[in-house]
A and B are shown apart, each in its own frame.
Chain A
Amino acid sequence: MTEYIEFDENERDCLQELMNISYGSATAAIADIINKEATLSIPNIQTVNTKQFKEYLKEKLGNQVDYFITNQLISGSFCGETMFVIDRKSTENLALEFDLEGEELKDDDELKDVILEISNIITSTTLSKLAGLIDSSISFSPPQIEIVRDSNSFYRSYINEYSHIIIISTDIIFQEQNIRGELLILSKDNATIYLKEALNKILEEF
């Protein structure tokens, strides 16, 4: 594994701005697809290394609550994978927005489908927009989903493949309720270098 690649303050600000723009597309897409007004809060962005990521997961998944976690591979010059992490309560709230009711709200298969759909919309629109902004072409593999209760069952060897992880936390806000989900972008070293160069190119232009 290579040394952790740091983003300086300007690069981080630029990334935050690009993410805000990208997330705008995701918001519009959600509203259009499920015919409900949704807004995504301004995303909070952290960049972490593998060790910090493991600690983040341990802390996040350490309170005996079910989390639905999807992951999707990204191919192209900005390659890696994305994860979407959301707890059961938020998932049930989101399912209400998808017009699920009664027993459906307790059915894991129905809930999985809702999360697969919302995470795919957020991931594909956000990353496609970001890729467009940094002049990159990407494609996605089908998303996978699992329900996780503790971080030990979730430490996979693939985490060691990534020295750089971008954690984007956001609230999906509907009229009635807040739903908290996190999009994680795990980028490989080459992709991180590519992103860093693209950010600097944008910074030079402005």
Chain B
Amino acid sequence: MQELTLGQAVNQALREEMSRDERVFIAGEGVGVSIHSDPRMATYGLLEEFGPRRVKDTPVSEAAIAGLAVGASVMGLLPVVEIMFNPFFTIAADQIVNHAAKLRYLSGGKSKFPLVVRIKTGAGIGAGCQHSHNLEAWVAHSPGLKVVMPGTPADAKGLLKSAIRDENPVIFIEDMILNFVPGPVPEGDYTIPIGVADIKKPGKDVTVVTWSKMLGAAFKAAGQLEQQGISVEIVDLRTLVPLDEATILESVRKTGRLVVLHEATRTGGFGGEIAALVAEKAFDMLKAPIKRVTAPDIPVPFSKPLENFYMPNEVSLMEAIKELF
């Protein structure tokens, strides 16, 4: 099987979908003649292959980029636009939250907005808090959007293909560190359904629900705890909206313990949603309180030791898990 980084897997999905369907076009800042001439980046080489009609290098105009997607999608095109860094989503938020998410409802179901907004996210790149900020909970709180956050290159490829073929606005959030971590990716066309979580590792004693980059920390912690006799089940959500409640609940009913792990800050984070879900629907199966392992409620700092402190890791996860026994 080919080994690709998440960025390369996204690149392959884009290439295959653009070849498959003439209606697919991409737009964003630097998606064509890119400032990122790194072949591991998502849109590398697509301008050369598909030309400037279908690969639109845009001005630095996040609201216009998102609006372009809204208007083009209602006319039957399949835009895949890019917001370079997650904090810049806030400038595009009107188009995404007030328009992409709501216009179908406001049309009484008559119009469709089959667009994809790819957003790069995550700490660990040494860029500080105006480039690094995980805002998935903001998007997930807007009905009308679907929210996808893959944690492996293989999932990224299959989920992005599904996102492009989905008739709804899909916010597809890619962690930047994962752009540099290779993993196995199946060749050719395959899709992974949006809204289905994946048990990345079965276990008996505790459920860790996580997504995106934190999957790596979950694996590291699980490996070490395994040697200490604690069997960890890792549930990778992959999609936040729609949420695969059944897989989460089934896992917690089996293990009786839950830790939610995410890189985003704690207050109002999506981890609270998972905790509330389990408290509402599987409380009687819990053998211990629900734990959240998250970043502290601070902006992402720059200095390496500070940035490392910000991000949850296998150590903080292991500590939380051990407190449950």
Q: Do these two chains interact?
A: no
